[in-house]
Structure 1
Amino acid sequence: MWNDAFPSFLIGLREGLEAGLIVSILVATLVRAGQRARLGAVWAGVGAAVALSLSFAAVLTFTAADLPAGGQDVFGGVLSLIAVAFVTTMVFWMRKSARSLSGDLKARVTEALGHSAGVLVVTSFIAVAREGLETSLFLWTTAKSAGESQGPMIGAGIGIALAVAACWGLYRRVLKINLTKFFSATGVVLIVIAAGVLAYGLGDLQEGGLIPGQSAYAFNLSSIDSGSWYATLIAGTLNLTPAMTWLQVIGYLLYLPLTMYLFVRGIRSATAASTGTATAGAATASTSAQTESAIPLTRAQRRAAARVADEQALAARIAAKREAKQEREAARRVPRWAVGTSIFAVPAVAAVAVICVLGPGKSSAASNEIALSESSCGTGWTNPQAGAQSFSLTNNGHNTAEVFLIDPSSNAVFAEIENLAPGTTRPLTVTLSGGSYAFRCAFTDGTALSSKTYLVSGGSSDANTGFAPVTDQDLQQPVADYRAYVQQNLPVLLADSQRLAADLAAPDLAAAKTDWLTAHLDYEGLGAAYGTFEDFDTKIDGRATGLQGGVNDSSWTGFHRIEYGLWHGQNAAVLKPLGDQLVADVQGLIKAFPNQTTDPNDLPLRTHEILENTLQFQLTGISDYGSGTALATASANLHGTQIVLSTLVGLMQARDPQALKSIDTWIQTVAADLNAAHHADGSWTALDQLTAAQRQQINGDLGELLEQLSVVPGLLEERSSA
């Protein structure tokens, strides 16, 4: 809970201080102008802004709850991106405006004094509403990313309370804060937090199906317990998790360095400009003082000036009394209680109307508070019925849990929540038909238990389809079959690699080019095994990307290094040692492979990842070092994917035969696209020789195949406790 509180604390403190400073300046300006009677107008504007912000938060909360699971992900993802845009704009605006904020507001108040009280209401409302709306949006986003609301709300409450206390101290002049430094320091931290919110929002859009690549992980640190204190702390404060997709990582790395650089550069520029202005101002003031002292006023002039000042003060007092009288008359015409009520009622009524329009399914989705702990699982489902069901699951235990909604008679899983940390609450939405259901809870300490069986009557045309959980035992045979395939093909890889090495030693570089492709396709066809090969994959098939010396780095070896040399005119003396090293590395792999372990969860994941890498590296030409054989490699990758799927076909057939059929159809389509580039003499069309239409067709068909394959990792994820 507390690890989720820090981002909300910071946004509450910073936004609260911004809004509080605005209110303090407005109040102080009126008090010093002798216009205390107009303070009510300021507080009316503040109240209206607060009411609007709370109503906005209600709209976000209740309309999101009425959306289906995928819709909630898309809704949350879009709002996360909007929140990042608002926060980024806010930190840059405050960095620029902090120095002149007081003067600008005083000028507005002075102008408003010549008009009706309504102008003051609008001035204070606009000044505070922006901060309130930003706060509501960012707090809603951080609460959603945290999966619970208690921690973020506590953090925001503490931050706002401290901001109010600080503003009171500044108003009473008992507290001194360097606001420029404060907003600069908090701006740096908020940019880091916003980068995490951006990554989370992109992940939400992927989970909602709006953006592809949900299973294309840049890293998946399965060895890290996502429920541990350090993982939850990092996830709660920075929104960085042990498993992140390529899109999330790219978005994070594009946003953070660039935004931070522009922000820090702006701070330095503002500091330099301020120093120069202060120096020039001091010089001007000194010159002015010297000039004034050189021209003393006469006694008559001083008397005339004093008389003018007295007349102006008298005129101001008369005008103030007249204006106060007009306000009292206006107040008698419109009761104050009516004004105050409307300030809060209008936004609230508008929010209710929006919720009713955007959340028409609210009445059909029952809400249930479901509690779980190591001693009980899934208590609190009071109205089991067919149709949309909305659950709010709270982990009251001491360990992180996975929660499944299952059919107890078949163990089919209809919905699940992973890594529900102690003390947190997360929503779960599912559409059910008639039948029997139960919650099953699996805690990280090994505790596994089920709720009572709930009977649901009726039916629903769009009900979720349950799928049988996959256990470690279910995956053992596919892993054994795949390892047998690799074991059988490693000697073929060795023989073809030795032939390539012999060509380089002969030297016969023309034959080496032909034999290089044969041996390289042997390796690429092994597919999912690269997750098992450990360091041998880099030695045998690594690219020059990231190496200090690039293509000239002495540590670069393997197929791509030989490819670079063959197609860039390097002689046999340079290439022969590389051929010998390749043979030695393949022999080392053959010796090490029997003792290497294959993670059972790797197989379902690789069904998508192999071709994801093909689309990213082969069909963009990134992995081509001169041979022009990217399409041949893509064909080998497709074959490797088919081999992996063949080991999982039994599990897929039992869980989603229609998905398996669609996958097979699109595999044949992509295979036909690639075979069209394979000529009778064994050569392949180079990637840059394809027409725009051919390239678009291959990319489009492979993209559709990836969409079909994206269901496999989730469908066959190991769920030993379900």
Structure 2
Amino acid sequence: MFLANLLIALREGLEATLVIGILVGYLVKTDRRDVLPKLWLGVGVAALIPLSIGAVLTWGPKTLTFQAQEIIGGSLSIVTVVLVTGMIFWMGKHSRQLKGELESSMAASLTRRSSGWGIVGLAVLAVGREGAETALFIWATVRSSVENSVLATTAGVIAGLVLAVVLGWIIYRGSRRINMKLFFSVTGYFLILVAAGIFAYGIGDLQEAGVLPGIMTHSWDFSSSLPGPGSPIYWLYVLGQAIFQVNVQPTVLQTIGWVVYTVPVIILFARQVHGRTRATSNGSTTPATPPNANNGSHAEAAPTSATARPDTPAPTVDP
């Protein structure tokens, strides 16, 4: 469980850290360091959002009946999957424009309110959204495995957030180049599989509460074949259960839910990631207009393309 929560906290924490770095960098670049204390105030308020959500989710349901707890837990697990899936696709689409959008919002806040108090609200919205998603996602994974090891679960979350802060600071200082596109692509696939497990787990909760049928109808049952705790296979199963909610006896509805979520989401995400890569590659290597076969010269084909589309630079041609 340590590794699972470390990777989740690292991915989600790094997003929030990058947002803070962009905001701080803009204020420094525009010589508005006087607004930095207000920015940090907004970040502090935003940090209270995930803490409050975590506290309510952890201790709030304790006074409810078992059925009510399962209904709330299953429903929130599914809501978490929806939010995280949307975040994965949003980050994949807007990661390149994120800096420009935040700086535009920052400039508008400074223009409307010269005192800079608008920055507090911007920081709360920008950072608080990331924090709320992180709290829900981590809670959903912790809820299903915290009984195995409270220490490992907590340590994984803390280590992931600390590492995210360190990486964010390194990126802000510019002392090291990190391929953020590759990072968010790889972790995107990872989070999809984690979310699929949470989705199946949420369905199981709703089945236990009687909201959904089929709690005793299993797709398969390998529980009797699971080796003892001394076997490496057993610990591999424990790791898979902690990260991806691997189940040796899932219900039919859980299996269907896992497949229905995972297959289309991975296909759409792969098209978004690799489709954008191919488009960028084609745009940088394919000439806008093919060479003119009549004059037999590649060098004379470039002005033709430039004349047809003045806003398109002429392609570079090797001699």
**Aligned 8 A contact 1:96 1:270 in 2:** no
* 1:555-574 equivalences in 2 (<5 Å): none
Distance in 2 between residues matched to 1:166 and 1:238, nearest whole Å:
25
Task: Please say which of residues 210-219 and 107-116 is displaced more in the overlay.
Answer: 107-116
Corresponding residue number in structure 1 for 2:178: 177
Distance in 2 between residues matched to 1:187 and 1:226, nearest whole Å:
33
- What TM-score, normalized by structure 1, do the two folds share? 0.38
Corresponding position: 1:223 with 2:229? no
State the 1:140 CA deviation.
1.0
- C-alpha spacing 1:200/1:225, structure 2 compared with 1 (3 Å): farther
**Aligned 8 A contact 1:218 1:246 in 2:** yes
More helix as a share of residues: 2
Distance in 1 between residues matched to 2:227 and 2:249, nearest whole Å:
11
**Aligned 8 A contact 2:16 2:130 in 1:** yes
* SS of equivalent to 1:220: coil
- What TM-score, normalized by structure 2, do the two folds share? 0.84
State the 1:285 CA deviation.
8.3
* 1:391-430 equivalences in 2 (<5 Å): none
Corresponding residue number in structure 1 for 2:145: 146
Distance in 2 between residues matched to 1:107 and 1:275, nearest whole Å:
28
Corresponding residue number in structure 2 for 1:579: none
Corresponding residue number in structure 2 for 1:128: 127
Distance in 2 between residues matched to 1:214 and 1:172, nearest whole Å:
53
**Aligned 8 A contact 2:14 2:165 in 1:** yes
Corresponding residue number in structure 2 for 1:214: 215
Distance in 1 between residues matched to 2:110 and 2:173, nearest whole Å:
23
State the 1:145 CA deviation.
0.9
Distance in 2 between residues matched to 1:207 and 1:24, nearest whole Å:
44
1:236 is aligned, of 229, 234, 242, to: 242
Distance in 1 between residues matched to 2:159 and 2:146, nearest whole Å:
20
Question: Where does the alignment leave 5 or more consecutive residues of structure 1 unmatched?
Answer: 288-722
* SS of equivalent to 1:241: coil
Corresponding residue number in structure 2 for 1:14: 11
* 1:593-632 equivalences in 2 (<5 Å): none
Q: Deviations over 1:24-44 (max 9, x none)?
A: 000001101111001112111
For these two proteins, the number of residue pairs brought into alignment is 283
Corresponding residue number in structure 1 for 2:53: 56
State the 1:16 CA deviation.
0.7
- C-alpha spacing 1:65/1:256, structure 2 compared with 1 (3 Å): same
Distance in 2 between residues matched to 1:273 and 1:98, nearest whole Å:
16
**Aligned 8 A contact 1:142 1:152 in 2:** no
* 1:528-547 equivalences in 2 (<5 Å): none
Distance in 1 between residues matched to 2:217 and 2:251, nearest whole Å:
5
Distance in 2 between residues matched to 1:23 and 1:79, nearest whole Å:
28
State the 1:109 CA deviation.
1.4
Amino acid at match of 2:124: F
**Aligned 8 A contact 2:141 2:243 in 1:** no
Distance in 2 between residues matched to 1:82 and 1:53, nearest whole Å:
16
* 1:19-98 equivalences in 2 (<5 Å): 19-98=16-95
**Aligned 8 A contact 2:204 2:254 in 1:** yes
Query: CA RMSD of the aligned region, Å?
Result: 1.9
Amino acid at match of 1:17: L
Corresponding residue number in structure 2 for 1:167: 168
* 1:517-532 equivalences in 2 (<5 Å): none
- C-alpha spacing 1:124/1:111, structure 2 compared with 1 (3 Å): same
State the 1:124 CA deviation.
1.2
State the 1:273 CA deviation.
3.1
Distance in 2 between residues matched to 1:218 and 1:147, nearest whole Å:
26
* Percent sequence identity over aligned pairs: 39
State the 1:188 CA deviation.
0.4
Corresponding position: 1:245 with 2:251? yes
Using CA pairs below 8 Å that are at least 6 residues apart, which structure has the higher relative contact order?
2
2:281 is aligned, of 275, 279, 285, to: 275
Amino acid at match of 1:97: H
Q: Deviations over 1:520-559 (max 9, x none)?
A: xxxxxxxxxxxxxxxxxxxxxxxxxxxxxxxxxxxxxxxx
Amino acid at match of 1:26: L
Distance in 1 between residues matched to 2:207 and 2:82, nearest whole Å:
19
1:264 is aligned, of 270, 273, 279, to: 270
Corresponding residue number in structure 2 for 1:119: 118
State the 1:7 CA deviation.
2.5
* SS of equivalent to 1:219: coil
**Aligned 8 A contact 1:226 1:242 in 2:** no
Task: Please say which of residues 18-27 and 8-17 is displaced more in the overlay.
Answer: 8-17
The structure number with the bigger radius of gyration is 1
**Aligned 8 A contact 2:146 2:153 in 1:** no
Distance in 2 between residues matched to 1:205 and 1:25, nearest whole Å:
41
Corresponding residue number in structure 1 for 2:296: none
* 1:621-660 equivalences in 2 (<5 Å): none
Q: Where do 4+ consecutive residues of structure 1 move more than 4 Å?
A: 276-281, 283-287
Amino acid at match of 1:224: L
Corresponding position: 1:194 with 2:195? yes
State the 1:86 CA deviation.
1.1
* SS of equivalent to 1:251: helix
* 1:441-452 equivalences in 2 (<5 Å): none
1:254 is aligned, of 260, 278, 293, to: 260
Corresponding residue number in structure 1 for 2:297: none
**Aligned 8 A contact 1:5 1:151 in 2:** yes
State the 1:277 CA deviation.
5.1
More strand as a share of residues: 1
Distance in 2 between residues matched to 1:232 and 1:25, nearest whole Å:
39
* 1:199-598 equivalences in 2 (<5 Å): 199-221=200-222, 222-225=224-227, 228-276=234-282, 278=284
**Aligned 8 A contact 1:225 1:231 in 2:** no
Distance in 2 between residues matched to 1:81 and 1:223, nearest whole Å:
30
Distance in 1 between residues matched to 2:146 and 2:9, nearest whole Å:
19
* SS of equivalent to 2:176: coil
Amino acid at match of 1:96: K
State the 1:6 CA deviation.
2.5
* SS of equivalent to 2:219: strand
Distance in 2 between residues matched to 1:214 and 1:147, nearest whole Å:
23
